[in-house]
Structure 1
Amino acid sequence: MTLADRAPMPPAWVVVFLSLLLGIQPLATDLYLPALPVLTVALGAPMAQAQATLSALLLAFGCAQLVWGPISDRYGRRPVLLAGLAAYTLAAVGSAVATSIEQLIVWRILQGAAMGAAVMGARAIVRDLYPPVEGARMMSKGLSGLGIFACISGPLGGWLTDHFGWRATLAVLAVFSAATLALVALRFRETLPQRNPNALQPAQMLRIWAGIARHPTFWAWALLAAASYGGLFTFLATSSFVFITVLGLSKTQYGLLMFSMSAVYIAGTFICRRLIPRLGVRRTVALAAAFTLTGGTLCGIAAWLGWHSVWAIMGPYYLFILAHGVHQPCGQSGAVSPFPHAAGAASALAGFIMMVTAFLMGLWLGQRMSPDGATGVYPLANGLWFWAVLIAGVAWTLVQRHGEVRPSPQMATPAGRA
């Protein structure tokens, strides 16, 4: 079967769907970040519970992918996307009308679980349609679209919070997901070349999970993506409190700062596409890791020297987020690439690792941050420094040693059809 035979949609439509499905995640997190301090006061919530509206969403997001992945390998990507987007729309409406922090957390958990279908599906679609190197470049295009939504989210969230209150930031998510659901229903065509009828059988699922977990290439790329996302999550979970409460920015100013961060991330995805044909995937990642380590280290040193200002954080962080635009497309596509007939399961496990990483970081941050800003910039700066060191270590060792994609021999053909 040729690539043309396997691609039922024009490449432009593939990019549109990747952008929408991947973009649903930053909208769910970034859009309401300017409202998080207001939300905390309005619902009378302690800091730990306010952080839980983000960390619980991400934990549910990660765990649900372990379910959605095998289901999509069995029944196809399209029905999973339709079910997930419908549930996400319902949860977004529930979040917008929640009257207590406990209700909001419950709705956000459901939203995270539904979001898992969209993001897992996007990564699996790339593996369905493209070989590894082309898959990394296509993923970078989808993540450029994600970056555009991330650019919009910060300023829009700040403006909505200032003019309509925090509930409006959550209601917009329902509008976006409903529109995406309609487009998927009307225009998306199935990408899975061959369904695996045994994908949901317990013994078969264990064999598939075990095969993925034993593959060193999977771990090299999955750990790179997880560590890079850990750094992003650290910024997302702390930045609204640091910049608004500690450093005194308005919500609109904070939104514009988020816009600038997302613009740099988009530039990173463009750089990724330009470097891969010239340097190869592994050397591209190694080069990006130098920017990651430089940015994280400068941010940490500035905090310890007492340079607590917006640009003492954002200047180094631009280096970090620029490299993030390289690490994510390469990491997410690389983790799935060895498993052409178990792409859903591999995508799910990689996503689960990313979200567990974020959840654990959220627990740590929730214990070390205070709503009055007494902890200052240290949780943000120290967290970024930690992740920068870890990212560089993975990129310069595991990825260089195991990053060349070789299909898993146990999964070279669909299960039960070898």
Structure 2
Amino acid sequence: MENVNLKNVSHIMYPLDKLRSLSRPIAFGHYSAKNDVGGVTSWLERLLLRLHSDGVPVIVLLHHFGTDIDESSLSPRLSDAGISVEVEVRSSFTEENVSSILTFLNRSQPQIFLPQCLEAMYYAASIAGRVGLPWALSMRSDDPVYWAIAESVPPESSGGLMVGVSEYICNLAKEKHLAKYTHTVPSGTPISAHRASFSDTPFRVAFSGRVVEEQKRISLVLEAMSQACRRDSRIECWILGDGMDMTTSHQWVIDQGLGDRIHFLGRLEPSAVQAKLAQCQALLLMSDYEGLPVALLEAMAIGVVPVARSIPSGIPELVKNNETGLLVDHTPEQAATAIIHLANHPDLWLECSTASKLLVAENYSEEVCYQRWLNVISELCDRSTIRYPIPIPKKIPLPPVHPDLVGRDIRKPSLSDRVKAKLKRIYNRILFKTHIGERSAKS
């Protein structure tokens, strides 16, 4: 399938009945972490809950970052909904992770596999794809890691297909000769009853997402906010989310004497984000790279006007300057000026707010994007020729380590490392099943 314009997609009907009647489940693979506020996790949780509620059989494997699988923020919410979830502690070695994923696939025997984020998930998918298990490489960001994975295991060479969250990513994948055909499927966002309204007392600016310097450039966000606050007493700012740079960021704001103007609200449950954003007038985003940011979609869906750094990404597909928001360069000075300009021009704010809500409702709503995912899943299911078990060789065949994956993709565990990793997986699987049983007994 070539890239398809998103308009009018909501009028196309997809074969839910066929997916409900599958004799084998659809398998998903993802990472797990404590207090994860990532956009991919929020999107995946909504997709899995929707598929499950629509009667489509799904099963999930989570590779957990950390030693205590009880810290997984995603697995309890999925398990409580009745979705089958397995959680394993992520090994330090790629071969061990790939082997455990292939073992999971043999155990669950899915119709297709939809891995997310981790290189080991995609490596395992490419191995299984060569023996008939269809899969998709989900390009969710312009992160160099995603491009490195796509270059290491081009999906069309091993029974997979390419899915990108933006037209920009899909077109770039074709230019790089990583795929001949692509599916453009944004994450999508719920269209809630919440609505932002103009206010200049205060004019509230939000940042929503991971509080980190890498990619999100939280230092630029805070500097722009501080300049806006100093230049205009009506400006107030909220930081929604958590991350490894939270403590440093909070201390920087205190040191600037702006603790009463820039507030850190911490991590919010996905269902509460739009309610909090509805109390804001603008969303600030200064990232170095993005795909199609979920935070941007969530804000625009309720009429919060984005002030976003213009970078090669899906952002310009959403933010049309002076139409659906304001685009700025990498300098905090220009971002602060744009914020104050919006506060001083309620007519411009209203025009951008109205246009942004309409754009998201027509092209990027959760319903529109869910229908497109059903189409991708249906196409993959039609391709499935898998016969289990998938052969798992002692020496896992992996591509050479890509330069952009050095430090992430670690190979060659010793025999002792292999034994320890296997015992740890068995122990944690037992622990997880015990924990789930205790939760069920309490409920």
TM-score (norm 2): 0.29
Q: Which has the higher contact order (CA 8 A, sep 6+)?
A: 1
Please say which structure displays the higher CA radius of gyration: 2
Q: What TM-score do you get using the length of structure 1 for normalisation?
A: 0.30
